[in-house]
Amino acid sequence: MASLLVQVGKYKEVEQFLSEMEIQGILLDNPEVFSCIIQGFVCEGNLEKAILIYEKARQRCISPSLSCYRVLLDSLVRIKKTQVALGVCTDMVEMGFDLGDDEKAAFENVVGLLCWQGKVLEARNLVKKFVASDFRPSDEVLYRITRGYCEKKDFEDLLSFFFEIKSPPNVFSGNKIIHSLCKNFGSESACLYLRELECTGFKPDEITFGILISWSCREGNLRSAFIYMSELLFSGLKPDLHSYNALISAMLKEGLWENGQGILAEMVERGTEPNLSTFRILLAGYCKARQFEEAKKIVLEMERCGFIQLSPVDDLLCKIFSFLGFNDSAIRLKRDNNVGVSKTEFFDTLGNGLYLDTDVDEYEKTLTEVLEKSILPDFNLFIVKECKNRDLKAVLRLTAEMDRWGQELTSVGLMGLLKSHCKSNSRIKPIIDVWKRRPDMIAQLEADTLNLLVQAYSKNRLTSCGIGTLNEMIRMDVRIEKETYSALINSLCKIGNLSDLVGCWDRARKDGWVPGLLDFKSLISCLCKKGELKQVVVLLETMLVSYPHSRLDILNIFLERLSEAGFPAIGRVLAKELTSLGFSLDQKAYELLIIGLCKENTVSIAINMLDDMMAMSMVPCIDVCLLLIPTLCKIGRYETAIALKEIGTTKLSSSSRRVYGALMKGFFTTGKVREALALLEDMLSKGLSLDAEIYNLLIQGHCKAKNFEKVRELLGVMLRKDLSLSISSYGKLVRLMCREGRSLQALHLKDIMLRNSKSHDSVIYNILIFYIFRSGNCFLVGKILDELLPDNVTYNFLVYRFSQCKDFSSSTYYLFTMIRREFRPSNRSLNAVISHLCDTGQLEKALEVSREMEFRGWIHNSAVQNAIVECFISYGKLQEAECFLNRMVEKSLIPKHVDYNNIIKQFCQSGRWLKAMDLINIMLKQGNIPNASSYDFVIQCCCNYKKLEEALDLHTEMLDRCLKPSITTCDKLVSSLCREGQMKEAERVLMSILEMGEIPSKDAYCSMLNRYRYENDLEKASETMRAMQQSGYELDFETQWSLISKLSDTSLENNNNNNNSNKGFLSGLLSKSGFSRASIP
């Protein structure tokens, strides 16, 4: 019962049902049912109920399915129910399941949530349990743990964690640790920690050494920086550009300008090209050392590398100072004239004393700043700069590089990244990756940025991310733009996530959001498809009030979407209601309703609406005319059909030919050939040329009238005019030819069709094969097959039709051929062949077909399973039959609504009541209720084997399912219960017969009466006799007298104490025993 309620999505009802069962002391222990209930409540957005059911299941030591765990964890993480998520995730890990990728992703999300909320110890313990279950934590999990510990600056505990789980960090996590150590405790501490980290199996890369080099340079420890560079090179790694820049900056800052060119040369030699920052560092260093000639060489090198363009008139020094950020007029290079106090700071190549005419302190400060900022790469600044340049490729490259350097986006960098991506059509994955690692930064973002983020998520259909961000915005009381609601609701409509859609829409309405016309179309389409008609009406009311000047457009959209979703009748009722309130429908509204009603085959209402429409002098559109003209002909309303034709040819003259065609089709369909031909003459008289569509209609009409000569004449005209015969016309013509014994002409027609066809070759052959078979000319099929490579449809035709012709060898051959060509046979084809093989004793051949299907994971339909099992049973191979059925279950090859009723009976007749019960349970699980006969056989079989508890359970189940047990079954059950002394149960079974309006058999009464006599329960015996009498049964004299004898002593004693002492002994005795005075002779 619980399974059936779950299958139809009645989760609240099944919860109530289980509660009632618990009150009666019956506890459900089915993991599948609990899993479905939990997932159902989660999908409905009722997470509290889902958690309650989950906790109830765990209290009973029931483990939900993996998919259930995943769905529950995803929802808990999304709404940040941290402690509950931790408990559920711990259960999932400790259960020892073989976790798939989706479950591991859910585990990662829980770890991420714990770390984000600062609960690193809980995350660590969870990961340790994960490792203890023989799983290896992913790099993402280790990164989140690492980041959590780095924020706490607890590096010793982090190291012990890596030793405990015996999993080293990857370079991203390792570099994050080294960067954090350098930042907080200096490069020397980081280096010592690195040695310990290597003991866990961590392998540093060039970036690891680059971080140490950069921080050493920043600390002024050039010696250590060069030691790290040597170790890097010794390890066979290639130094990073930023490492070279750091060394050059530090050396130039210390005045070691002579070595600058040497490092640059080595850098180029090792294959690392300098960037603009490298040249800027060199220029700043040379200018600081007053080596302007060297600086000029650098400018020329920059031109050679394509970073700048120089003109012959350019002053190189001005270019240098400008590039370094100085004002052109702020710095002048002057020669010292040796007048007064010497101002010489340096000498040129000619020995002239030179000095800078500027604010030297400001000059030195600016150059030092350039050098210091270049030592340690600041990726946030780089990203902001590239975002301004709108170079998204560079932004993505820098974001990836930043991760390797152990750095993180600041709020400024994050806003730049978000805005650059959200405003463009670029990929959103980089945003998701950043967001997963830094969800805490949401509080630092501006409202505009957050709105852009939700819109970008929505555009990429990442609605769960969008809803999560929206919930955070609501929590922080951030202004949500209407465009944000529109984007998210539109995305939810496209995905079809109803619970999230309704929740988001409710929130949007509270914020005063009203959909625009485009949003309205998307929203109403989704609601109609999901059958949420109540919400549809609410939406319509909102739109009509909000857009009073667009009411007709809104109503037409509403009617169109309702019709598309299959609810035109509801649209008509609402339209009628609006009309009664003074709202007038336009022509388009009528047309939409008519088209929708026709699609739903409610033609009579559609025609009534057409009558209303024409009464108001409205001209139906061409689509309405084409739809209704043939229908009007079918119901005999030729005058209205002709009137529509007149409208179509006069007021819709551009579609005259199509309207004539529709009426012609109507005439031919109803056998009005003369009227159709008259219509043809009318067309010709009005100068309308006949196109391929009209010719095809004529051919189909004459085929229906079986006028082959006329058809052949029309076909000749079409061929001369090079007009194509439609597939529909071809099918009707082939059928006519085959019926009239013209199969060879059908073969010739096929050749004509193939010459003109470009994409329907297989269809042409299949139609021909179908009608050739129906004509009984099976010998021609071989000739046709020589010309084509059959497809799935062809093979199914061959298998089934050869079986119909009793050519089972060909049928079986083509079945095996299509399976080996990976075409899946239809159920009809399989049933035909398997049934024949089993009926003719070719069980091994049938099993060979089954094995081929098993190998491909194809479901065995009920008929196939029944045929094979019945064949096994007929040979007495009951064990093999059971093994076959067990294999179907193990490999999930059982169809929905499987029917085992026939073999349940046969298993019972063979005494296999346990297997019969198992088959009943499988049928129920697959959504099919066994018939009463199946239950009857199993109950009777259980009675034979004295399994009365099982028999009673089945009997109760029958009654619960409103199935009526047979009288034979009830007799058997009552008799068995009486034999075992279970009289209360026997009475209950007897009462159930009476409640069904049936009369228990005499044998059932006698069984009970005999047992009561045996137990000397005279009162019950008397009641039973009265009940028998009321049911119209008479006891034989021997039974009566036996009962009277047993009652004699009791009756005499009662008689003596009775006030009515005048009654005779026999009379009183029989009266007490259930017989009236009238019945005593």
Angle at alpha carbon of residue 114, lines to 113 and 119, rounded to 5°: 150
Give the pLDDT confidence score for residue 346 in this predicted structure.
Answer: 58
Place of tokens 């939900």: 64
Give the pair of three-digit tokens for residue 989: 């079974």
- Highest-confidence range of 332-346, 364-378, 686-700, by mean pLDDT? 364-378
Angle at alpha carbon of residue 497, lines to 495 and 500, rounded to 5°: 130
Counting every residue written for the chain, the total comes to: 1081
Single-letter amino acid, residue 226: F
Give the C-alpha separation, 404 to 847, whole Å.
59
**Residue 567 is assigned to a structural domain of this protein:** yes
Q: Which domain holds residue 519?
A: 514-618
What are the residues facing 347 on neighbouring strands?
353
pLDDT at residue 189 tops 50 = yes
The pLDDT tens digits for 453-491 are 888 888 888 888 888 888 888 888 889 999 999 999 999
The pLDDT tens digits for 644-678 are 888 877 766 667 888 888 888 888 888 888 888 88
Q: How far is CA 844 from CA 824, 871, 872, in A?
A: 20, 10, 10
Give the pair of three-digit tokens for residue 36: 């479905």
Beginning with the edge strand found earlier in the chain, give each strand of the sheet holding 353-357 in spatial order: 332-335, 353-357, 346-347
pLDDT at residue 1064 tops 50 = no
User: CB-based burial of residue 880 (10 Å sphere; 0-12 exposed, 13-18 middle, 19+ buried)?
Assistant: middle
Q: Closest Cα to residue 211, out of 188, 184, 232, 182?
A: 182
The pLDDT tens digits for 749-759 are 888 888 876 65
The residue-averaged pLDDT of 395-417 equals: 81
With beta carbons less than 8 A apart as the criterion, state whether 93 and 107 touch: yes
Helix (H, G, I), strand (E, B) or coil at 554: helix
Give the C-alpha separation, 47 to 45, whole Å.
6
Q: How far is CA 677 from CA 627, 689, 702, 794, in A?
A: 21, 15, 10, 37
Give the pair of three-digit tokens for residue 971: 């007799």
pLDDT at residue 179 tops 60 = yes
Handedness of CA 7, 8, 11, 13 (dihedral sign): negative
Give the C-alpha separation, 167 to 131, whole Å.
9
What are the backbone dihedrals phi and psi of residue 350, each rounded to the nearest 5 degrees, phi first?
Answer: -90, -5
With beta carbons less than 8 A apart as the criterion, state whether 355 and 343 touch: yes
Give the pLDDT confidence score for residue 844 in this predicted structure.
Answer: 92
Which of 558-572, 692-706, 821-835 shows the lowest per-residue confidence on average (mean pLDDT)?
A: 558-572
H-run or E-run covering 247: helix 241-253
Q: Which long-range contacts (CB under 8 A, 24 or more apart) does 49-54 make?
A: 49/11, 49/15, 50/75, 51/84, 53/15, 54/88
Could you tell me how far CA 134 lies from the centroid of its own chain?
A: 30
pLDDT at residue 21 tops 70 = no
What are the backbone dihedrals phi and psi of residue 333, each rounded to the nearest 5 degrees, phi first?
Answer: -100, 115
The residue-averaged pLDDT of 131-160 equals: 90
**Residue 969 is assigned to a structural domain of this protein:** no
Give the C-alpha separation, 971 to 998, whole Å.
13
The residue-averaged pLDDT of 97-124 equals: 87
H-run or E-run covering 175: helix 171-185
Give the pLDDT confidence score for residue 389 in this predicted structure.
Answer: 77
**Residue 106 is assigned to a structural domain of this protein:** no
- DSSP letters spanning 786-819: TT----HHHHHHHHHHHHHTT-HHHHHHHHHHHH
Give the pLDDT confidence score for residue 920 in this predicted structure.
Answer: 92
The pLDDT tens digits for 882-908 are 999 999 998 889 998 899 999 999 999
The pLDDT tens digits for 377-404 are 998 888 888 877 777 778 778 888 888 9
Give the C-alpha separation, 473 to 448, whole Å.
11
In terms of DSSP bridges, do strands 332-335 and 353-357 run parallel, antiparallel, or are they unpaired?
Answer: antiparallel
Q: Closest Cα to residue 139, out of 129, 157, 127, 149?
A: 127
pTM of the model: 0.59
Single-letter amino acid, residue 921: N
Give the C-alpha separation, 386 to 420, whole Å.
9
Give the pLDDT confidence score for residue 710 in this predicted structure.
Answer: 87
Give the C-alpha separation, 843 to 245, whole Å.
81
pLDDT at residue 330 tops 70 = no
With beta carbons less than 8 A apart as the criterion, state whether 964 and 943 touch: no
The residue-averaged pLDDT of 590-619 equals: 82
Single-letter amino acid, residue 158: L
With beta carbons less than 8 A apart as the criterion, state whether 39 and 30 touch: no
Angle at alpha carbon of residue 866, lines to 860 and 868, rounded to 5°: 80
Report the share of the chain in percent with pLDDT over 70: 87
Give the pair of three-digit tokens for residue 848: 């060979």
In total, how many domains does the chain have?
1
Which of 78-82, 184-188, 834-838 shows the lowest per-residue confidence on average (mean pLDDT)?
A: 78-82
Angle at alpha carbon of residue 712, lines to 706 and 718, rounded to 5°: 125
pLDDT grade for 204, boundaries at 50, 70 and 90: very high
pLDDT grade for 1073, boundaries at 50, 70 and 90: very low
The residue-averaged pLDDT of 6-24 equals: 62
Give the pLDDT confidence score for residue 870 in this predicted structure.
Answer: 92
Give the pLDDT confidence score for residue 174 in this predicted structure.
Answer: 95
pLDDT grade for 1041, boundaries at 50, 70 and 90: low
Q: At what angle do helices 82-94 and 66-78 cross, to 10 degrees?
A: 160
pLDDT grade for 1076, boundaries at 50, 70 and 90: very low
The pLDDT tens digits for 509-536 are 888 888 888 888 888 888 888 888 888 8
H-run or E-run covering 346: strand 346-347
What are the backbone dihedrals phi and psi of residue 893, each rounded to the nearest 5 degrees, phi first?
Answer: -105, 20
The residue-averaged pLDDT of 536-545 equals: 86
Handedness of CA 169, 175, 181, 184 (dihedral sign): negative
Q: What is the mean pLDDT of the chain?
A: 82
The residue-averaged pLDDT of 264-269 equals: 88
**Residue 664 is assigned to a structural domain of this protein:** no
In terms of DSSP bridges, do strands 346-347 and 332-335 run parallel, antiparallel, or are they unpaired?
Answer: unpaired
Q: What percent of the chain is helix, strand and coil (3-state, nearest 5)?
A: 70, 0, 25
Give the pLDDT confidence score for residue 873 in this predicted structure.
Answer: 92
The residue-averaged pLDDT of 1005-1024 equals: 81
The residues, ordered by sequence, that sit 6+ positions from 306 with a Cβ below 8 Å of its Cβ are: none
Q: How far is CA 751 from CA 11, 764, 773, 789, 951, in A?
A: 59, 9, 18, 16, 66
Q: Where are the beta strands (DSSP E) in 85-194?
A: none
With beta carbons less than 8 A apart as the criterion, state whether 220 and 250 touch: yes
What are the backbone dihedrals phi and psi of residue 591, each rounded to the nearest 5 degrees, phi first?
Answer: -65, -40
**Residue 908 is assigned to a structural domain of this protein:** no
Give the C-alpha separation, 344 to 352, whole Å.
9
Give the pLDDT confidence score for residue 23 in this predicted structure.
Answer: 62
**Residue 1055 is assigned to a structural domain of this protein:** no
Give the pLDDT confidence score for residue 684 in this predicted structure.
Answer: 83
What are the residues facing 334 on neighbouring strands?
355
Give the C-alpha separation, 547 to 564, whole Å.
23
How many other β-carbons are positioned within 10 Å of the β-carbon of residue 976? 25
**Residue 1032 is assigned to a structural domain of this protein:** no
Give the pLDDT confidence score for residue 19 in this predicted structure.
Answer: 67
- DSSP letters spanning 1004-1053: HHHHHHHHHHHHT-HHHHHHHHHHHHHTT----HHHHHHHHHHHHHHHHH
pLDDT grade for 337, boundaries at 50, 70 and 90: low
Give the pLDDT confidence score for residue 960 in this predicted structure.
Answer: 84
Helix (H, G, I), strand (E, B) or coil at 355: strand
Give the pLDDT confidence score for residue 289 in this predicted structure.
Answer: 84
**Residue 603 is assigned to a structural domain of this protein:** yes
Handedness of CA 633, 637, 639, 641 (dihedral sign): negative
Report the share of the chain in percent with pLDDT over 90: 22
Give the C-alpha separation, 642 to 436, whole Å.
68
Please indicate whether residue 1046 or residue 495 has the higher confidence score (pLDDT): 495
Structural Rg of the chain based on CA atoms: 45
With beta carbons less than 8 A apart as the criterion, state whether 501 and 471 touch: no
With beta carbons less than 8 A apart as the criterion, state whether 769 and 791 touch: no
The pLDDT tens digits for 606-625 are 888 888 888 888 888 888 88
The pLDDT tens digits for 734-787 are 898 888 888 888 888 888 888 876 656 778 888 888 888 887 777 787 777 777
